């Protein structure tokens, strides 16, 4: 995955890159209420000279979503108030997390970076003292984000701030990532040893590492030397197995400022965001990148399909995508082996019981050809209204054994949702288990144990709201959440007159609204597991009359003639 540091709203991360970074630098005020804070974070426009056009979180999130890119939001609210309190900064991080969820992102598709270059004296400062101050911002952000997204720490240049102190004192923060700036820190000429040093530190702290800002800050972006340094940075960080690499895209030539930091070519949107236009400088940069792709590719019919930069493309990839879609993966139909396709292939390999590497060769192709819509995961395409009509007692039996304690005796509400909407309680349970299930301290995987499940009473995540059709995401009670989500699923995705309708099945509900192409498959897996548990359940309604007993016996037991 290669994030692109995108400093212009017109810039587009091409298929060379798997992610985009947006610097959320808006003006906040101490004491502002949550509504004002949330609105400013989402709709507030960047107010600095980097951007030549208005830009905000909503616009950048839409671009990243359209291209299926990993989305990093850098909380830079300190830029206009270096003395911002840790609590306000933490609330801003929490607001960013809330918006990411509402915009259809989860912790596998987005991250939040904390501060930009905190080691500068006007922000937190150098050494241990700077690190002590910075840790307060990290802990405040953790308090409000609550593990909902990975937090990228440091994002500094020259390693001025005491990074060891920061990571020694943030061990309570899950999913920490070490963010480094290999841009100005490389110097002129570039000191490539800094790339090795930062990776060594990340290994010591046992955290992933992302280069959150990279490129030839001291070289003309439009020059061959500048392009070569960008390409070399990607190559070296890739060889060291960085989890993410960034190239810094600056376009401030229209501002009247000096050209000290001239622009690197990139593909751009038209002003109305309707079309992408290439540029000569971008083409030069791509040609420079290709010099580092020495491996000669065999003919499409012979080659292994695998993750590369740029991504592989061709008719063989189109055939792969078509086959994946046939069996229930919501892959794109663009003949390009993107990160999303790669993740889908790994899920297929996992289910098929073969090597999980995302590489499509003879073994994977052979397995794919063994399957069709009817024998891989048929639940994906099963009519959603096919109910087993499980009893409330049996639903409660499941919740007592496979859900958090707060959901005890809530089977009646899943049953009520089924009666009101026709959507089977067992499918709602399967969706809830997949979306809000997490392991507890004892290692047991429990429905409702996610942060959103426990705190927001939201058992269903955001698989049905990726494009924002459903505004509700926090509920007062579990009953309210279960009933509202069931009604919205029916209204939004199971109504043939609604433009979102794609069929009365799991694939139809998930298509075009899932963060990942395998979400329908995953939901079908959980749905299948629910059926197995409920069918094996020991609680059956006790018949009052002997004539009612025989159908029950026929349903659950094998008759011996």
Three-state secondary structure readout of 362-427: HHHHHHHCCCCCCCCCHHHHCCCCCCCCCCHHHHHHHHHHHECHHHCCCHHHHHHHHHHHCCCHHH
User: pLDDT tens-digit profile of 316-326?
Assistant: 899 999 999 99
**Structure-model confidence comparison of residues 495 and 222, the more confident one:** 495
Position 410 pLDDT exceeds 80: yes
Instruction: Supply the pLDDT for residue 462.
Output: 54
Triad 406, 410, 416: Cα angle to 5°: 150
Q: What is the pLDDT of residue 492?
A: 82
Confidence of residue 253 (pLDDT cuts 50, 70, 90): very low
Put the strands of the sheet holding 276-277 in their side by side order. Answer: 11-12, 267-269, 276-277
The CATH number fitting domain 3-290, selected from 2.60.320.10, 3.20.20.80, 3.40.50.720, 1.10.3720.10: 3.20.20.80
Q: How confident is the model at residue 294 (pLDDT cuts 50, 70, 90)?
A: very low
- Contact by Cβ (8 Å): 128, 489: no
Determine the 3-state secondary structure of 110 from DSSP: strand
Region 130-139: what's the mean pLDDT? 96
Residues 139-143 have a mean pLDDT of 96
The mean pLDDT value for 227-236 works out to 79
The one-character DSSP state at 185 is: G
**CB contact set of 433 (below 8 Å; sequence gap of 6+):** 402, 447, 526, 529, 530
- CATH entry 1.10.530 includes domain 380-535: yes
Structure tokens at 517: 């192409």
| pLDDT in the model for residue 251 | 45
pLDDT at 297 over 50: no
Which tens digits make up the pLDDT trace of 12-32? Answer: 544 456 677 888 989 899 999
Apex 437 CA angle, 490 and 176, nearest 5: 120
pLDDT band at residue 237 using 50, 70 and 90 as cut-offs: confident
Confidence of residue 442 (pLDDT cuts 50, 70, 90): confident
The SS3 call for residue 274 is coil
**pLDDT tier at 229 (50, 70, 90 boundaries)?**
confident
In this prediction the pTM is 0.58
Is residue 196 within a helix (H) or strand (E), and if so which, with residue range?
A: helix 193-205
| Residue 465 pLDDT level (bands cut at 50, 70, 90) | very low
CB 84 within 8 A of CB 122: no
CB proximity list for 190: less than 8 A, separation 6 or greater: 216, 229, 232, 233
Residue 557: the pLDDT is 62
- The tokens for 353 are 């019981």
Question: Do 165 and 128 form a contact (C-beta atoms < 8 A)?
Answer: yes
Minimum mean pLDDT range among 150-154, 225-229, 303-307, 550-554 = 550-554
Contacts of 341 (CB under 8 A, 6+ apart): 317, 320, 321, 324, 331, 332, 517
pLDDT of 340 higher than 90: no
Strand partners, 70: 19
Give alpha helix (H) positions in 269-390: 280-290, 315-326, 339-352, 362-368
Q: How confident is the model at residue 154 (pLDDT cuts 50, 70, 90)?
A: very high
CA distance 439 to 448: 10
Mean pLDDT (the chain, rounded): 81
Span 46-103, pLDDT tens digits:
655 555 556 788 878 877 776 677 889 999 999 888 999 999 999 999 999 999 988 8
Among 118-132, 286-300, 411-425, 438-452, the range scoring the smallest mean pLDDT is: 286-300
Under a CB-based contact definition with an 8 Å cutoff, are residues 74 and 23 in contact? yes
- Give yes or no for residue 136 having a pLDDT over 80: yes
> Residue 262: its pLDDT value, please?
45
User: Which pLDDT tens digit goes with each residue over 171-197?
Assistant: 999 899 999 988 767 776 777 888 999
Indicate whether 399 pLDDT > 90: yes
Could you tell me whether strands 11-12 and 267-269 are parallel, antiparallel, or unpaired per DSSP bridges?
A: antiparallel
Judge whether residue 464 has pLDDT over 60. no
Domain 315-376 has CATH 1.10.101.10: yes
Q: How confident is the model at residue 158 (pLDDT cuts 50, 70, 90)?
A: confident
- Cα angle 491, 496, 501; round to 5: 70
Per-residue pLDDT, 265: 46
pLDDT of residue 241: 86
pLDDT at 437: 92
CA–CA dist 185, 198 (Å, integer): 11
Asked if residue 81 lies in contact with residue 71, where contact means CB atoms within 8 angstroms, the answer is no
What CA–CA distance (Å, rounded) separates 264 from 313? 25
DSSP 8-state secondary structure symbol assigned to residue 253: G
End-to-end CA distance of the chain: 61
* Res 417: pLDDT: 97
pLDDT of amino acid 296? 41
Tell whether the model's pLDDT for residue 266 goes beyond 80.
no
Q: Tell which residue, 158, 69, 161, has the closest CA to residue 118.
A: 161
Query: How far is Cα 156 from Cα 211, in angstroms, rounded to an integer?
Result: 10
Alpha carbon distance 339, 79 (integer Å): 33
Tell me: the pLDDT tens digits for 344-356?
A: 999 999 999 998 8
| pLDDT score of 160 more than 60 | yes
Higher pLDDT: 376 or 243? It is 376
* Residue 273 in this model has a pLDDT that exceeds 50: no
pLDDT for 295: 44
For 22, phi and psi rounded to 5 degrees? -120, 130
**Domain map (residue ranges) of the chain:** 3-290, 315-376, 380-535
Q: Which carries the bigger pLDDT value, residue 108 or residue 151?
A: 151
Q: Are 512 and 506 in contact (CB under 8 A)?
A: no
Whether the CA torsion 399, 98, 22, 175 is positive or negative: it is negative
Of 457, 456, 454, 481, the C-alpha closest to 470 is 481
480/462 Cα distance (integer angstroms): 16
With a cut of 60, say whether residue 386 has pLDDT above it: yes
């Amino acid at each position: 995955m290669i994030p692109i540091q995108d400093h212009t709203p017109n810039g587009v991360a091409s298929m060379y890159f798997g992610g985009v970074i947006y610097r959320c630098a808006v003006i906040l005020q101490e004491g502002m209420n949550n509504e004002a804070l949330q609105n400013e974070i989402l709709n507030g426009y960047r107010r600095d000279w980097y951007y030549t056009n208005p830009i905000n979180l909503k616009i950048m999130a839409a671009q990243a979503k359209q291209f299926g890119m990993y989305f990093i939001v850098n909380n830079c609210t300190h830029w206009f108030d270096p003395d911002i309190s840790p609590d306000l900064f933490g609330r801003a991080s929490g607001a960013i997390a809330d918006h990411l969820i509402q915009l259809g992102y989860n912790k596998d598709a987005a991250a939040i970076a904390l501060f930009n270059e905190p080691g500068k004296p006007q922000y937190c400062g150098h050494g241990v003292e700077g690190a002590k101050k910075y840790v307060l911002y990290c802990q405040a952000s953790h308090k409000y984000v609550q593990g909902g997204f990975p937090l990228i720490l440091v994002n500094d240049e020259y390693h001025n701030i005491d990074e060891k102190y920061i990571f020694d004192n943030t061990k309570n923060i899950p999913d920490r990532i070490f963010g480094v700036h290999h841009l100005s820190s490389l110097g002129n000429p570039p000191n490539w040893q800094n790339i090795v040093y930062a990776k060594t530190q990340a290994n010591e702290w046992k955290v992933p590492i992302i280069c959150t800002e990279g490129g030839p800050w001291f070289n003309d972006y439009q020059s061959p030397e500048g392009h070569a340094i960008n390409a070399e940075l990607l190559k070296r960080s890739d060889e060291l197995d960085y989890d993410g690499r960034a190239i810094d895209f600056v376009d401030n030539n229209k501002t009247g400022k000096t050209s000290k930091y001239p622009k690197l070519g990139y593909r751009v949107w038209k002003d109305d965001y309707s079309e992408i236009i290439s540029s000569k400088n971008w083409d030069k940069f791509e040609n420079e990148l290709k010099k580092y792709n020495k491996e000669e590719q065999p003919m499409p019919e012979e080659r292994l399909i695998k993750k590369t930069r740029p991504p592989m493309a061709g008719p063989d990839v189109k055939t792969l995508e078509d086959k994946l879609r046939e069996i229930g993966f919501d892959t794109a139909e663009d003949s390009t082996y993107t990160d999303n396709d790669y993740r889908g292939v790994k899920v297929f390999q996992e289910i098929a019981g073969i090597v999980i590497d995302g590489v499509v060769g003879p073994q994977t192709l052979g397995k794919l050809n063994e399957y069709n819509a009817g024998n891989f995961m048929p639940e994906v395409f099963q009519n959603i209204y096919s109910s087993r009509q499980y009893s409330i007692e049996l639903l409660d039996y499941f919740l007592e054994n496979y859900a958090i304690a707060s959901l005890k005796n809530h089977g009646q509400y899943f049953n009520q949702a089924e009666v009101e909407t026709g959507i089977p309680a067992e499918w709602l349970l399967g969706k809830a288990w997949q979306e809000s299930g997490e392991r507890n301290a004892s290692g047991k995987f429990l429905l409702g144990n996610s942060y959103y499940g426990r705190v927001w009473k939201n058992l269903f995540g955001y698989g049905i709201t990726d494009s924002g059709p459903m505004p509700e995401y926090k509920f007062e009670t579990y009953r309210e959440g279960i009933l509202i989500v069931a009604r919205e699923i029916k209204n939004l995705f199971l109504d043939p007159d609604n433009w979102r309708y794609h069929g009365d099945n799991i694939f139809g509900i998930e298509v075009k609204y899932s963060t990942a192409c395998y979400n329908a498959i995953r939901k079908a897996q959980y749905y299948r597991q629910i059926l197995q548990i409920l069918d094996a359940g020991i609680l059956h309604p006790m018949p009052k009359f002997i004539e009612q007993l025989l159908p029950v016996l026929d349903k659950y037991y094998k008759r011996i003639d």
